[in-house]
Chain A
Amino acid sequence: MPIPEPQDGVHDSQLLKGVLSLALMRLLAERESYGYELVTRLHELGLTEVQDGSVYPALGRLERDGHVTSRLVASTSGAARKYYRLSAPGYAALARIERAWQSLVRALEPILAKPVPAKPKEALP
């Protein structure tokens, strides 16, 4: 499968999917938010490719796994908003996932820091 050409401000959707939970938990650690607000916060961070349709089930997954709790708050827009906040197990999970992420970045950095050769070396006989 051809790998899409990377462009400035464009992120690979599969990569984004992998780190979406981490990003949501990190944002919820900062403050309680509801679905659409989290989408806009992600967009403001430059993750404009993140679709609402991937954020809402991701929040449901976090809630099912006990990483976030939710409460309904009446809103001026009519329907009640569902606010999410990070739970105690969620904070522990966030710390663990952040460590794993940092470790992954550290492991990849030396590889990515090397310039890509024009042609891979031949295997030794």
Chain B
Amino acid sequence: MNEGALSKKDRMRIELAVRKIDWELDGRIPRARRRQILNELRSNLIEAAQHTGGEQAVRQLGDLKALANSYRELYRGRFDIRAGAFWAFIAYVAIQLLGFALFFAFQAGVAAGGAHGASYSFEPWPGFGPFAGKVSASGNTFEVLLGSPAHLLIVCVAFAIGSTYRSVLAHRRA
């Protein structure tokens, strides 16, 4: 029996399972290793499908996420780009939330001080960020800093730590 004997549906089932695992591994283990894993998996699935059918062959793999996790544990690269991106995003959101909290406190202070005319700005570290804002005396218009050298620096640090801390911990445990 050869691959040609597999139905289109079975081949699609197999490819879908392989792609699901690829999605879980993407950016988490080195590309060359990932390709080896997927090729071996595809070869075994085709073989299994020829004996038991595509649906059973995929079912026999068990939970695809758990399988991908096993491979991740086994071949973890030095960098987990996805985890790095996640922590960089979290760091950015945290900076902005803190920035907004500081800004609203400043705005409340301006209002409480009985401000009149023009606009008021705060910028603890001029030109560096990450916190800076401007509010009109009426409080109707305001500006908040969304990007700055400090934003970039913090996001980069969060990415670096987020993408490597697992491999560092695993290395220490070993």
Chain A residues in the interface with B (C-beta under 8 A): 34-37, 39-40, 51-54, 56-57, 60-61, 64, 75-82
A76 to B44 CA separation, bound complex (whole angstroms)? 12
Q: Are B43 and A81 in contact, CB atoms less than 8 angstroms apart?
A: yes
- The answer on a CB contact under 8 Å between A53 and B67 is yes
Is the CB of B61 closer than 8 A to any CB of chain A? yes
Q: Which DSSP category, helix, strand, loop or mixed, fits chain B's interface? A: helix
Interface size class on chain B is 20 to 34
A41 CB to nearest B CB, Å:
13
Among all A-B residue pairs, the 6 with the closest Cβ atoms:
A79-B43, A78-B3, A53-B62, A57-B70, A53-B61, A53-B67
CA distance A76 to B47 in the complex (A): 10
Q: How many A-B residue pairs have CB under 8 A?
A: 75
* A79 and B74 form a contact (CB under 8 A): no
Query: In the complex, A109→B1 CA distance in Å?
Result: 47
Q: Output the least CB separation between B167 and chain A (Å).
A: 15
- B60 CB–A CB distance under 8 Å: yes
- When distances are taken between beta carbons in the complex, the residues of chain B under 8 Å from A57 are 67, 70-71, 73-74
Q: In the bound complex, what is the Cα–Cα distance between A78 and B46 (angstroms)?
A: 8
